[in-house]
């Protein structure tokens, strides 16, 4: 009996080790087998070690109970240690928007989750495809169970490797979550978290109309890069909805870099003084706002107002200042991307579900809603910050 128990124990330990090396549903299956075999082996060894005489019946029962209790506790500890969910974060920069996503993800994930985050660029790099793909490959090589990806330009078909990585993860029982993108290819093999950029632009446009008159007002609208589906959607909404303004200029950047926004504003201000400067996002709006208040060339623009998009905390702080040129922004908020991703991962992990069992058409796309309350001016910014 002891020999059989020892062999069973070895088999159980091997199953637990294989479970540790596997991912997703395969990991949970092997761990369950390991636990069951290990418990069975403990019972067998207990029966073999205890004397068989009738005078030792009480001791036998007590020994089995104690051994079984220690076996259950030890096996449970081994299962928890070997089945910690490994969450790979493939976000290629540490700009404020991306850090807010990370913050939401880490705050909402179950406490024992292991975070794999190799993104350490201090500047926006989402338009650097090679850098992003290198980060993706390095993260995938560490064998995460879940991938949370902010893919650059996936709408334009620039990231087939993302599709391949998530497809492979799915085949192994893992879960891929794509943020922001609306690629039809990605929807078939992953979860997808997105906000309605067109609705966000419409809400911002309505606020612009309430802020400045249609006639005799010069507007400068700067859009994000053309390869970003969301930036392009917002630009088209602005073009259609603000076409009746008598003096409006549209510009489009090649990246999300705030320095490029500042360069456009400086060039524009040499001959004209826009009443309102609509920036691609909050980081760009902050760059312009600080330049207007501190640099010599910005003095003629002191009466100009700046508009952002995203709702990062630094932008809310700037809007809350009474003397700030930063007039208003639209809150997505970016942190909500991380929160929604964490919710999907927590559900998948708690119920031990693989991607094939968990993702269904009804929940393939998780929307982050924006409404009229998402537009934030100074008073509402102070409430957001200080309650």
Pair of tokens at residue 347 = 């559900």
Going by their DSSP bridges, the two strands 365-368 and 191-195 should be labelled as: parallel
Sign of CA dihedral 258, 264, 269, 273: negative
* Tokens 């850090």 belong to residue: 99
User: CA–CA separation, 201 vs 309, rounded Å?
Assistant: 9
**Same-fold call for 86-195+334-369 versus 197-309:** yes
Worst-scoring range by mean pLDDT, 8-12, 136-140, 229-233, 319-323? Answer: 8-12
User: CA–CA separation, 339 vs 336, rounded Å?
Assistant: 5
Residue range 172-223, pLDDT digits in tens = 667 788 887 544 455 566 778 888 888 999 999 999 999 888 776 789 999 9
Task: Give the CA distances from residue 287 to residues 109, 180, 281, 282, in Å, rounded to whole numbers and listed in that order.
Answer: 33, 24, 10, 9
Q: How far is CA 341 from the centre of its chain?
A: 6
In the predicted structure, residue 151 carries a pLDDT above the cut 60: yes
The overall pTM is greater than 0.85: no
Q: What is the CATH number of domain 86-195+334-369?
A: 3.40.50.2300
In the predicted structure, residue 29 carries a pLDDT above the cut 80: no
pLDDT category at 12 given cuts 50, 70, 90 is low
Q: How many residues does the chain have?
A: 387
Task: Give the CA distances from residue 216 to residues 98, 219, 221, 226, 299, in Å, rounded to whole numbers and listed in that order.
Answer: 38, 10, 16, 29, 21
DSSP letter for each residue of 10-22: HHHHHHHHHHHHS
Residue range 267-312, pLDDT digits in tens = 998 888 899 999 999 999 999 999 998 866 666 788 899 999 999 9
Which residues neighbour 28 within 8 Å (Cβ) at sequence distance 6 or greater?
19, 83, 352
| More confident: 130 or 120 | 130
pLDDT value, residue 143: 84
Residue range 327-362, pLDDT digits in tens = 999 998 899 999 999 998 888 777 654 444 444 333
Sheet containing 86-90: which strands, arranged edge to edge?
114-117, 86-90, 146-149, 175-179, 191-195, 365-368
Residue 326: phi and psi, rounded to 5, are: -75, 105
47 class by beta-carbon count within 10 Å (0-12 exposed, 13-18 middle, 19+ buried): middle
User: CA–CA separation, 214 vs 4, rounded Å?
Assistant: 87
| More confident: 83 or 156 | 83
| Domain ranges for the chain | 2-82, 86-195+334-369, 197-309
pLDDT value, residue 362: 34
209 class by beta-carbon count within 10 Å (0-12 exposed, 13-18 middle, 19+ buried): middle
pLDDT value, residue 186: 52
| More confident: 319 or 10 | 319
In the predicted structure, residue 260 carries a pLDDT above the cut 80: yes
pLDDT value, residue 229: 78
Check whether domain 197-309 has CATH 3.40.50.2300, yes or no: yes
In the predicted structure, residue 166 carries a pLDDT above the cut 60: yes
pLDDT value, residue 159: 67
Residue 241's closest CA among 268, 209, 283, 265?
Answer: 209
User: CA–CA separation, 348 vs 355, rounded Å?
Assistant: 8
pLDDT value, residue 55: 46
User: For helices 229-241 and 197-211, what crossing angle results, to 10°?
Assistant: 40
Residue 378's closest CA among 340, 329, 313, 308?
Answer: 329
Please give the average per-residue pLDDT across 27-53, as a whole number. 58
User: CA–CA separation, 113 vs 352, rounded Å?
Assistant: 14
């Amino acid at each position: 009996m002891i020999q059989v128990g020892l062999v069973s124990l070895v088999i159980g330990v091997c199953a637990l080790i294989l479970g540790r090396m596997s991912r997703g549903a395969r990991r949970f299956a092997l761990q369950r087998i390991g636990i069951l075999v290990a418990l069975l082996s403990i019972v067998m060894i207990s029966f073999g070690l205890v004397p068989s005489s009738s005078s030792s019946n009480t001791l036998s029962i007590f020994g089995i109970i104690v051994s079984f209790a220690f076996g259950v506790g030890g096996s449970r500890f081994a299962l928890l240690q070997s089945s910690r969910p490994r969450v790979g974060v493939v976000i290629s920069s540490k700009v404020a928007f991306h850090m807010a996503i990370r913050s939401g993800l880490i705050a909402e994930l179950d406490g024992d989750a292991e975070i794999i985050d190799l993104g350490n660029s201090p500047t926006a790099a989402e338009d650097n495809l090679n850098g992003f793909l290198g980060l993706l490959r390095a993260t995938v090589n560490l064998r995460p169970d879940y991938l949370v990806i902010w893919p650059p330009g996936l709408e334009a078909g620039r990231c087939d490797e993302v599709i391949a990585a998530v497809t492979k993860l799915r085949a192994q029982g893992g879960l891929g979550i794509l943020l922001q993108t609306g690629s039809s290819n990605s929807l078939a093999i992953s979860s997808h978290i997105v906000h309605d950029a067109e609705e966000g632009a419409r809400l911002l446009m309505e606020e612009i109309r309430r802020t400045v008159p249609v006639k005799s007002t010069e507007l400068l609208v700067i859009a994000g890069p053309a390869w970003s589906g969301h930036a392009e959607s917002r630009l088209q909404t602005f073009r259609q909805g603000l076409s009746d303004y008598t003096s409006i200029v549209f510009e489009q950047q090649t990246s999300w870099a705030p320095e490029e926004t500042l360069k456009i504003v400086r060039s524009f201000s040499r001959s004209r003084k826009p009443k309102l400067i609509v920036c691609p996002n909050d980081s760009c709006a902050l760059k312009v706002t600080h330049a207007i208040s501190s640099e010599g060339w910005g003095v003629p623009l002191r009466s100009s107002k700046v508009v952002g998009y995203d709702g990062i905390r630094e932008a809310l702080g700037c809007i809350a200042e009474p003397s700030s040129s930063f007039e208003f922004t639209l809150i997505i908020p970016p942190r909500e991307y991380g929160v929604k991703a964490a919710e999907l991962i927590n559900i998948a992990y708690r119920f031990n579900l693989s991607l094939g069992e968990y993702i269904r058409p009804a929940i393939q796309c998780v929307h982050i809603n924006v409404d009229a309350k998402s537009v934030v001016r100074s008073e509402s910014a102070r409430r957001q910050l200080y309650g």
